[in-house]
């Protein structure tokens, strides 16, 4: 929950329990739907040095529609709190998982480590973040604590986070404005004093000095005043205090570290030159009408509706698909802007180069908001839905990522306000006779062909018979089992080992199971019997458990142990192995009408039924939007009554920033490591 205290949580909880350790006792109180069941109760004695509070609550499902907690969201916020409060340790445990998923957050360096975390996938101008802190007396008698950390990188975007009393003030406030004005003033003063402005006609602006800046500004003060219920902006007047501290501390740092100062000032001067070039380019294109809403791009097929809330624009990959979309759209409210080829990667491009790129300039003009801190105005937005529509192949994914990089770096407010969407064109079309069905992904495709296959079909094994919904559910579980088997095989690199791991009676389901030697021997012994090379039973001292090592089919040493037990795919495979065990009684007698067949194992049975589901049907797998005609594109991807759109959200700004830096930035090694770490999780590889 955002910006609320314990009283609000209590009011929204079905049950709420409070435990306080204080003054040598534990105090407890319980509530139901916000009402105390009894007064605060003094319990047993505890050591005087033990203090703290424990809150246990269960959300009220009659009030809250969604009561499921996302581990990654919680982890992101708690990591942030650990950065903001240096030296504290926060433990997060998810007991819904088996084994329990535990993460610990502890950062002695505080927000200086936060800066390193933010810049880990970027090339920095100076190795150590600049960090300073200070206290100032407030007029009301309280103390204002100010912490600032900053570091420059060779990118062009600004990444600044501001906090007040650990609350992320996403809309800034007086502390952020004080930081920005002081930063601009101090860098200008340092550059002038060092004689670095000989060829510079005017002072550096705020935009110039913030290019490539990563910074965290954190203030703590009594009784802060925020704007709005979500506390997105700090209104308490602390600007002067923040400005004074930065003028003093940053000025001292520059005096002691002239080489770092020169790098920062030089980067800002380069940014100024690029800004001036961009201004000239913008003025030139405006004179030509290219960035003015009165001169919309010629390739834009605009809609008739003038109310932006009712309008949507499709950014379509390719001129050909753009023409098809133009023919298939509802011209009343749908506009089409075809994009030629791959757009510029703005993560690696300066502002002036970006504005010189035709496709980006056309997008800026069509969307209407303008771009840049001085020109962007959300009130001028011409379409409240901006829909990215690309092919379902690797090039389409790349173009989609390039577009998202542009929106994230230069029009982020469009994302935070929920205006950016991704279209979901179908991946398959199944046609049989006059009927046809469009399928959005591989999972739905498997469901559909198995549904078709199992109509009027029975499968007999042993004394049992499967048909209808039970048969379909068995086959879907079997298909998932086979997919997980293949994915685990890519990790282990020996199918014989995976076959043993998939045995339903193997006593190795959880992390704790690998701590019992007898359990691990149940894996070791069959591996020896299978004559898998180099099999050894080893004690895992790091995890206080046991593991089995062996040589895979490439003669590389592999290990099966506790690390495998925490992988969700492994745990799911173990669950399915037990669920499917009762069905593993071949042969399987398959009958559908007059047709009968016998299959001797699961793999053959599944392959046979998938083929049966596609009997007499024509299956088309789409890779390009151009493979559909205008009517098909409308019916599958553009018709609001049946289409699926994915709205682009920013759940974690820090992680999103790092992903774009890693995937789209200059650091090749970081990108290679990311690919290596995630290669085995690829589901749909386009070759």
* 584-611 burial code (b ≥16 CB/10 A, e <16): eeeebebbbeeeeeebeebeebbebbbe
Annotated catalytic residue: which of 302, 330, 393, 444?
393
Axis crossing angle, helix 442-453 with helix 468-492, rounded to the nearest 10: 140
**Placement of tokens 């920095």 in the chain:** 124
Whole-angstrom CA distances from 302 to 320, 332, 346, 481 are 17, 9, 26, 49
Query: Is 455 labeled as catalytic in the residue annotation?
Result: no
Alpha-carbon Rg for the chain, nearest whole angstrom, is 30
Question: What letter does residue 106 receive in the DSSP assignment?
Answer: E
* 524-552 burial code (b ≥16 CB/10 A, e <16): bebbeeeebeebebeebeeeebbbbbbee
**Placement of tokens 């002038």 in the chain:** 192
Query: Is 395 labeled as catalytic in the residue annotation?
Result: yes
Tell me the three state secondary structure of residue 647: strand
Which residues are CB-neighbours of 167 under 8 A, at least 6 positions away?
A: 3, 226, 231
Integer Cα distance of 624 and 317 in angstroms? 9
Annotated catalytic residue: which of 211, 317, 479, 667?
317
Residue from 410, 523, 333, 376 nearest 155 by CA: 410
Residue from 34, 253, 252 nearest 126 by CA: 253
Annotated catalytic residue: which of 113, 391, 494, 612?
391
Which residues are CB-neighbours of 364 under 8 A, at least 6 positions away?
A: 291, 355, 370, 371
Question: What letter does residue 100 receive in the DSSP assignment?
Answer: P
| Residue 537 host element (H or E) | strand 536-540
**Placement of tokens 């950390």 in the chain:** 149
Per DSSP bridges, beta strands 435-439 and 428-432 are: antiparallel
Which residues are CB-neighbours of 581 under 8 A, at least 6 positions away?
A: 504
Integer Cα distance of 523 and 491 in angstroms? 17
**Placement of tokens 């209104």 in the chain:** 235
Annotated catalytic residue: which of 227, 395, 604, 652?
395
Query: Is 391 labeled as catalytic in the residue annotation?
Result: yes
Query: Is 393 labeled as catalytic in the residue annotation?
Result: yes
Q: What residues act catalytically?
A: 317, 391, 393, 395
């Amino acid at each position: 929950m955002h910006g609320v205290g314990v009283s609000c949580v209590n009011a929204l909880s079905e049950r709420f329990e409070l435990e306080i350790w204080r003054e040598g006792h534990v105090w407890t109180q319980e509530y139901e739907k916000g009402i105390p069941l009894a007064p605060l109760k003094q319990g047993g004695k505890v050591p005087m040095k033990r203090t703290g509070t424990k809150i246990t609550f269960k959300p009220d499902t009659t009030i809250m529609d969604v009561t499921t907690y996302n581990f990654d969201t919680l982890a992101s916020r708690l990591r942030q709190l650990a950065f903001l409060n240096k030296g504290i340790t926060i433990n997060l445990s998810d007991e819904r998982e088996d084994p329990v998923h535990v993460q610990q957050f502890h950062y002695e360096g505080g927000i200086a480590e936060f800066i390193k975390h933010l810049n880990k996938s970027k090339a920095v101008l100076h190795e150590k973040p600049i960090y300073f802190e200070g206290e100032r007396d407030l007029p009301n008698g309280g103390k204002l604590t100010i912490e600032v950390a900053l570091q420059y990188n060779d990118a062009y975007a600004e990444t600044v986070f501001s906090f007040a009393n650990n609350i992320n003030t996403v809309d800034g406030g007086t502390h952020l404005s004080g930081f920005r004005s002081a930063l601009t003033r101090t860098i200008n003063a340092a550059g002038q004093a060092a004689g670095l402005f000989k060829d510079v006609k005017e002072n550096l602006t705020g935009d110039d000095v913030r290019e490539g800046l990563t910074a965290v500004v954190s203030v703590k003060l009594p009784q802060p005043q925020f704007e709005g219920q979500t506390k997105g902006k700090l209104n308490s007047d602390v600007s002067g205090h923040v400005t004074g501290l930065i003028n003093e501390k940053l000025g001292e740092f520059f005096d002691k570290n002239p080489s770092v100062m020169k790098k920062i000032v030089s980067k800002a001067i380069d940014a100024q030159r690029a800004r001036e070039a961009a201004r000239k380019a913008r003025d030139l294109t405006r004179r030509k009408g290219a960035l003015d809403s009165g001169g919309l791009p010629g390739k834009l097929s605009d809609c008739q509706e003038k109310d932006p809330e009712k309008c949507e624009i499709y950014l379509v990959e390719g001129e050909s698909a753009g023409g098809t979309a133009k023919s298939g759209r509802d011209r009343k409210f749908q506009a089409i802007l075809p994009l030629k080829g791959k757009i510029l990667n703005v993560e690696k491009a300066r502002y002036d180069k970006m504005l010189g790129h035709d496709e980006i300039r056309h997008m800026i003009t069509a969307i209407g908001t303008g771009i840049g801190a001085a020109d962007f105005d959300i009130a001028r937005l011409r379409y409240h839905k901006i829909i990215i529509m690309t092919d379902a192949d690797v090039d389409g994914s790349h173009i989609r990522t390039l577009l998202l990089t542009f929106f994230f770096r230069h029009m982020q407010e469009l994302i935070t306000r929920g205006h950016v969407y991704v279209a979901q064109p179908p991946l398959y079309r199944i046609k049989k006779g006059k009927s046809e069905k469009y399928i959005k992904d591989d999972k739905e495709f498997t469901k559909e062909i198995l549904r078709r296959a199992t109509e009027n079909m029975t499968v007999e094994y042993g004394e049992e018979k499967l048909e209808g919904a039970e048969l379909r559910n068995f086959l879907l579980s079997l298909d998932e089992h086979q997919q997980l088997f293949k994915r685990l095989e890519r990790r282990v690199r020996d199918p014989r080992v995976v076959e043993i791991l998939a045995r339903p009676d193997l006593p190795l389901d959880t992390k704790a199971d690998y701590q019992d030697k007898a359990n691990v021997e149940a894996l070791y012994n069959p591996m020896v019997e299978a004559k898998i090379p180099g099999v050894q039973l080893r004690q895992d001292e790091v995890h206080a458990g046991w593991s089995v090592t062996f040589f895979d089919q490439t003669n590389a040493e592999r290990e099966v142990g506790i690390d495998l037990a925490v992988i969700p795919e492994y745990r799911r495979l173990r669950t399915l192995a037990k669920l499917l065990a009762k069905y593993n009684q071949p042969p399987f007698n398959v009958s559908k009408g007059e047709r009968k067949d016998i299959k001797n194992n699961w793999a053959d049975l599944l392959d046979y039924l998938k083929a049966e589901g596609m009997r007499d049907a024509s299956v088309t797998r789409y890779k390009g939007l151009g493979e559909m005609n205008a009517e098909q594109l409308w019916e599958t991807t553009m018709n609001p009554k049946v289409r699926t759109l994915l709205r682009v959200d920013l759940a974690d700004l820090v992680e999103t920033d790092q992903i774009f830096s890693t995937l789209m930035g200059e650091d090749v090694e970081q990108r290679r490591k990311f690919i290596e770490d995630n290669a085995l999780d690829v589901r749909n590889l386009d070759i």
